[in-house]
Chains A and B, each alone.
Chain A
Amino acid sequence: MVVNLSNRVLGTEVIEACRSGDREAFRVLYETYKDRVYSIALHFCHRDRAMASDVTQQVFLKLTTSIRRFRGDAEFSTWLYRLVVNACMDAARSRMPQAVGTDLSRMDTLAAPGSQEEDYAHTQMANSVREAVSALPPKFRIAVLLRYFDDLSYEQMAKALHCSMGTVASRLSRGHKLLAERLRDVTGTRPRRRE
C-alpha cells in the first residue's frame, strides 16, 4: 500500500493557467504537490531539511520556467517527478548553492511545522526505517521514494527515472530487499496511515 494523495489531482485548466503565467494557479499547483515533493527530497537528502527545502524550491522554480513547454503528451505528475528526480540527483552529487540569496537552511528549521513529523519522531521503528532508506544507494532510494509517495505506475516511474520499466522493477526489488535485510532485527509495528 502506498501513500495515495491522488484525490488531489490537478485539472487541466490549472495547468493551462500556469502555462499562461497565472500566479494564483501556480500556487494551487504548488499546494497540491509541495508536501510530496518535499517529503521525497527530505528522505532522499538524508533528512537534511535545508537541502530538501532547496530541492523543493528548485523544482517549483524550474517548473515555472519550463511549464510553457509542457504539451500534455505525458502526464503532468510524471513530468513533475522527472524534475524532482533530477533535482535530487543533482543534490546528491553536490550540495546545492543557496537560491536567490535566501537563507533557507535557517528558515526551514524556524518555519517547519513538523507536526506529522513529530508524530513519528520518537518512534524507534520509524527512525530505523528512515535510516535504512537513507543508506540505500541513490538509484534505489529514489525509486523506493517515488513508488511510496505517489501512486505512479511503473511506466510513469520509468519516464521520471529515465530508464526502462524493467530497470524500475529491478531497482524496486533490490531496494526493498536491502531494506528488509537492514531492518531484519527490527520488530514490526503497525505503521500509522495518512488519510
Chain B
Amino acid sequence: MCTRHVSRNLAAYIDGGLPPVNARQTEFHLEQCGSCRGECDQVRRGMAMVEHLSVIEAPEAIWFSIEAALQDNQQREIRMAGWWRWALAATVVLALAGGALWRLAQPAGARWEVVRLDGSPSVAAKPIGGKGQVGAGEWIETDARSRAVVKVGEIGSVEVAPNTFVGVVAARPGEHRLALVRGEIRAKITAPPRLFFVNTASGTAVDLGCEYTLHTSEDGFGTLQVTKGWVAFEWKGLESLVPAGASCQTRPKLGPGIPYFDDAPESVRRALEAFSLGNNRSEALSTILSESRVRDTLTLWHLLSRVEGGDRGRVFDRIAALTPVPAGVSREQVLELDPETLKRWKEELAWTW
C-alpha cells in the first residue's frame, strides 16, 4: 500500500540529504509507488543533464572594473574625510579653512585629458569631439579609423591606436594604471620607475622609465616592444625585463615570454618561439645557444630560470663563453638560481644589451 507521495523529497533522497528515518520511508515508498519511482528517475536524469553545464572562467575585465570601483569609493571616502577635517578647522581658524577648502575641493582621482587624433574615439561610450577627459573606471575605445592620445597626469602620454579598448584603473599621483583589453597603445613615460602600469590579460607591463608599444589581442596574446628605457612585464611572480630595442611575446596563462632583441638572428627568434610553445624544446634550445650573439645574453639570462637541470648548465656555459663571468658569480650559485647572484650577473651583462 502506498504511503504519502514523496515527490518533494526526491532530490534530497538522491543527494543523501534526508535524515535516515525519512530516507528509509522514501525508499519504502518508492518500492511501492510506480508513479514516484518514475519521478525519481526523471529527477536523476535531470541531475545528470545538468552535468553538461560547464564552469566558465570569469572575464578578467570584471576584476578591472571592481578595482576601479574600489578606488573610486576610496577616493570618495578620502574627500568626505577631508571635508570633516575642514569643518573642524574652520571653527578654529577661518583663514586657514579657506585654503583647506581649496585644496580639498580638488578631485582626489584625477581625470586625464584625451585628445582626438583621428576619427571619433569615445570615452565612456560617448564620442569625444576635439578633446575629452577620462577617469578611473572609464574606458576609451577607438574603431578602425580612430586614434587618440591620453595625457597621463604629469608623467607622459599614451597614444591609443585604432581598434583599441583600454580603461583607466587608477589615476592618482602614486599609481597610473591602465587596463588594455585589446588593441595597441604606445606609451611615452618620463617618470621614476613603477609609477605607470598597464594590465593585460596575460600580465602587467611596469614602466621603468621608457617608451614602448604594447599590443594585445582579445584572447590575451600580445607583444611588448620597447623603444626607449626598460619595461618589466610581470605575471604571478614571473618577470621579463625588456630593454630598448627588444620585445617579448605574451600569452594568456603563461605570462611574459622570454625577451629578445629585435635584431636577433631569425633562427634564434624562431627557436625561441618553438621553445616557448613547447615544440621540440631540446632542439630549439640548442639552436638558441649556438646562434646567440653577445647581445643575446639578454635572452640567455632569462632562459636560466626557465630551464631545468642540465639545460641550465648549458645556458650558463654559453653565456660564459660569450662574455666573461664577473667576480662574485659562480656556476653553482647560478644553477641554484640564487637571486642575488642572478641580479649581479644581469647588471654586468646589461652593459652589452
Whether B52 lies near A129 (C-beta < 8 A) is yes
Scan residues 150-177 of chain A and give those whose CB is less than 8 A from a CB of chain B: 153-154, 165-166, 168-170, 172-177
A61 to chain B, nearest CB (A): 6
Closest to B252 in A: A113
Task: Note all chain B residues with C-beta closer than 8 A to A81.
Answer: none
Q: How many residues of B contact A (CB 8 A)?
A: 54
B127 to chain A, nearest CB (A): 13
Scan residues 20-62 of chain A and give those whose CB is less than 8 A from a CB of chain B: 23, 27, 30, 34-39, 42-43, 49, 53, 56-57, 60-61
Task: Note all chain B residues with C-beta closer than 8 A to A191.
Answer: 48, 51-52
CA distance A129 to B267 in the complex (A): 50
Task: Note all chain A residues with C-beta closer than 8 A to B167.
Answer: 102, 107
Whether A117 lies near B61 (C-beta < 8 A) is no
Closest to B70 in A: A64
* CB of B17 within 8 Å of the partner chain: yes
Whether B124 lies near A103 (C-beta < 8 A) is yes
Whether A102 lies near B138 (C-beta < 8 A) is yes
Task: Note all chain A residues with C-beta closer than 8 A to B52.
Answer: 120, 123, 125-126, 129-130, 189, 191
Whether A102 lies near B69 (C-beta < 8 A) is yes
Proximity string of chain B (14-45) to chain A, C-beta cutoff 8 Å, 1 when within and 0 when not: 01011000000000000000000001001111
B46 interface neighbour in A30, A35, A37, A177, Cβ under 8 Å: A177
Task: Note all chain B residues with C-beta closer than 8 A to A103.
Answer: 124-125, 139
Whether B11 lies near A120 (C-beta < 8 A) is no
Task: Note all chain A residues with C-beta closer than 8 A to B53.
Answer: 39, 43, 126, 129-130, 133, 148-149
Whether B59 lies near A119 (C-beta < 8 A) is no
* CB of A16 within 8 Å of the partner chain: no
Whether A104 lies near B62 (C-beta < 8 A) is yes
Proximity string of chain A (129-146) to chain B, C-beta cutoff 8 Å, 1 when within and 0 when not: 110110000000000100
Task: Note all chain A residues with C-beta closer than 8 A to B315.
Answer: none
A169 interface neighbour in B12, B39, B61, B125, Cβ under 8 Å: B12
B102 to chain A, nearest CB (A): 27
CA distance A120 to B124 in the complex (A): 33
Whether A35 lies near B58 (C-beta < 8 A) is yes
Q: How many residues of A contact B (CB 8 A)?
A: 76
Whether A35 lies near B201 (C-beta < 8 A) is no
Closest to A107 in B: B61
CA distance A107 to B12 in the complex (A): 40
Task: Note all chain A residues with C-beta closer than 8 A to B317.
Answer: none
A56 interface neighbour in B46, B49, B58, B70, Cβ under 8 Å: B58
* CB of A89 within 8 Å of the partner chain: no
Whether B15 lies near A106 (C-beta < 8 A) is no
Whether A194 lies near B43 (C-beta < 8 A) is no
Whether A108 lies near B59 (C-beta < 8 A) is yes
Task: Note all chain A residues with C-beta closer than 8 A to B61.
Answer: 53, 104, 107-108, 110-112
- Max count, chain B CB within 10 A of own CB: residue among A5, A43, A172, A173: A173
Whether B43 lies near A176 (C-beta < 8 A) is yes
CA distance A185 to B17 in the complex (A): 30
CA distance A180 to B46 in the complex (A): 4
Closest to B136 in A: A100
Q: If A30-B63, A113-B252, A176-B46 touch, does A61 touch B17 (CB 8 Å cutoff)?
A: no
Whether A116 lies near B54 (C-beta < 8 A) is yes
Closest to B60 in A: A111
* CB of A3 within 8 Å of the partner chain: yes
Task: Note all chain B residues with C-beta closer than 8 A to A100.
Answer: 65, 68-69, 72, 137
A57 interface neighbour in B60, B66, B138, Cβ under 8 Å: B66
Whether B66 lies near A172 (C-beta < 8 A) is no
Whether B45 lies near A180 (C-beta < 8 A) is yes
Task: Note all chain A residues with C-beta closer than 8 A to B46.
Answer: 175-180, 183
CA distance A153 to B11 in the complex (A): 12
Q: If A111-B218, A177-B43 touch, does A101 touch B54 (CB 8 Å cutoff)?
A: no
CA distance A172 to B295 in the complex (A): 65
Residues of A within 8 A of B (CB): 1, 3, 5, 23, 27, 30, 34-39, 42-43, 49, 53, 56-57, 60-61, 64, 99-104, 106-108, 110-117, 119-120, 123, 125-126, 129-130, 132-133, 144, 147-149, 153-154, 165-166, 168-170, 172-181, 183, 186, 188-189, 191-194
Sample (8) of A-B pairs whose CB atoms are under 8 Å apart = A102-B137, A108-B61, A116-B55, A120-B54, A169-B12, A177-B42, A180-B43, A183-B49
Excluding A57-B65, A169-B17, 19 further A-B contacts by CB distance (< 8 Å) are: A23-B70, A34-B58, A56-B58, A56-B62, A106-B139, A107-B165, A107-B167, A111-B59, A116-B56, A120-B54, A133-B53, A144-B50, A148-B51, A165-B17, A173-B39, A176-B42, A177-B46, A180-B43, A181-B42
Which 6 A-B residue pairings sit nearest by Cβ, starting from the closest? Answer: A176-B46, A172-B11, A38-B58, A179-B46, A169-B12, A107-B61
